[in-house]
Copies of this chain bind each other. A is one copy, B any other.
Amino acid sequence: MLYLVGLGLADETDITVKGLEIVRKAERVYLEAYTSILLVDKDKLEAFYGRDVSMADREAVESFSDGILAGADKVDVAFLVVGDPFCATTHTDLVLRARTLNIPTKTIPNASILSAIGATGLQLYNFGQTVSMVFFTDTWKPSSFYDRIAENRRIGLHTLVLLDIKVKEQSLENLARGRRVFEPPRYMTVAQCARQMLEIESSRREGVYGQDSLAVGVARIGAGDQKLVAGTLTQLCEADLGPPLQSLVLLGRRTHDLEREFMAEFAVDLQVFNEVWARDYEGKQ
């Protein structure tokens, strides 16, 4: 059996009791290490599980999945995924590959940012489609997120923006020379995301959102030191939420007063927050 085991969001104790039993009994244990990260090191996981854990990077999962699946028709293999196993396409691929090899699969769900984002106090019913924000370069500033946010905003919905992480990336030079030398990992911050959002708005000028649009930044949701900051996009350009992982929610106009009340606690500047809320959000449908 191939088990896809969700690890939750913060540390080694966020695995479920059911998931932990599977990890402890499995013949081999892999950790998917490129779509998200836990906030603790692999050593800590291994000590807690009492098991060796093999790191599976994108290459391993996408090109060598048969190695991961080898023998899984007879023995149990656990494939650990940060958050919930079905939040990334790659894992769907792995399950499909297992099917063609007649290997049964079972998924152990866990917390995902898609529901844990409720910690902002924003109602999950009021969210539209989720978008991703990648690191811009001087020559590559993809703005498809802007069209998706436009669709959400037109019908008044909040948008969860998931922020890029770069692990095990090679520089163009090292890639060209075939050197397996990797850059240090990079994790996008709420401030970078807010700046990139405003950059695209100033180039496309469709008024999908603006400097005064309200947003909430979150960092390390589910961890002891989780941090939330609510304010305008301009304010969030200067926000420092500390270490990764971070995400951002851009508010839609279809809000509930309970949302305001809950978020007020996280406001960078309560007066500004309340003024913008009253002017642009309150009572809008």
Q: State the A residues within 8 Å of B (CB).
A: 6, 8-9, 11-18, 20-21, 83-87, 89, 92-93, 95-96, 99, 107-112, 114-116, 118-119, 121, 123-132, 151, 155, 157, 221-222, 258, 261-262, 265
Given A6-B111, A16-B17, A128 and B125 touching (CB < 8 A)? no
B86, A118: Cβ atoms closer than 8 Å:
yes
A14 partner, pick from B17, B116, B261, B262, beta carbons under 8 A: B17
B114, A111: Cβ atoms closer than 8 Å:
no
Interface centre among A15, A108, A110 (most CB of B within 10 A): A110
A8 partner, pick from B16, B89, B121, beta carbons under 8 A: B16
**Besides the known contacts A16-B16, A92-B121, 16 further A-B residue pairs in the complex with CB atoms under 8 A apart:** A8-B16, A13-B18, A14-B16, A17-B17, A86-B116, A87-B115, A92-B262, A96-B261, A108-B222, A109-B119, A109-B221, A110-B110, A111-B112, A129-B155, A151-B155, A155-B155
Given A16-B15, A112-B115, A262 and B128 touching (CB < 8 A)? no
- Contact residues in B for A119 (Cβ distance below 8 Å): 86, 107, 109
A133 to chain B minimum Cβ distance, whole angstroms, is 13
- 12 sampled A-B residue pairs with Cβ under 8 A: A9-B109, A14-B16, A15-B17, A92-B262, A93-B258, A96-B258, A112-B114, A112-B115, A114-B115, A115-B115, A125-B130, A155-B155
Give complex CA distance A11, B118 in Å.
23
Residue of B nearest to A86 (CB): B118
- Contact residues in B for A15 (Cβ distance below 8 Å): 16-17
Residue of B nearest to A17 (CB): B13
A51 to chain B minimum Cβ distance, whole angstroms, is 15
Residue of B nearest to A110 (CB): B111
Give complex CA distance A16, B261 in Å.
29
- Contact residues in B for A13 (Cβ distance below 8 Å): 16-18, 21
B95, A262: Cβ atoms closer than 8 Å:
yes
Interface centre among A85, A124, A131 (most CB of B within 10 A): A124
The 6 closest A-B pairs by CB, nearest first: A86-B118, A109-B111, A112-B115, A13-B18, A84-B115, A109-B116
- Contact residues in B for A92 (Cβ distance below 8 Å): 118, 121, 123, 258, 262
Give complex CA distance A15, B14 in Å.
9
- Contact residues in B for A129 (Cβ distance below 8 Å): 125-128, 155, 157
A13 to chain B minimum Cβ distance, whole angstroms, is 4
A42 to chain B minimum Cβ distance, whole angstroms, is 17
Give complex CA distance A200, B172 in Å.
56
A147 to chain B minimum Cβ distance, whole angstroms, is 10
Residue of B nearest to A114 (CB): B115
Given A109-B115, A115-B109, A89 and B258 touching (CB < 8 A)? yes
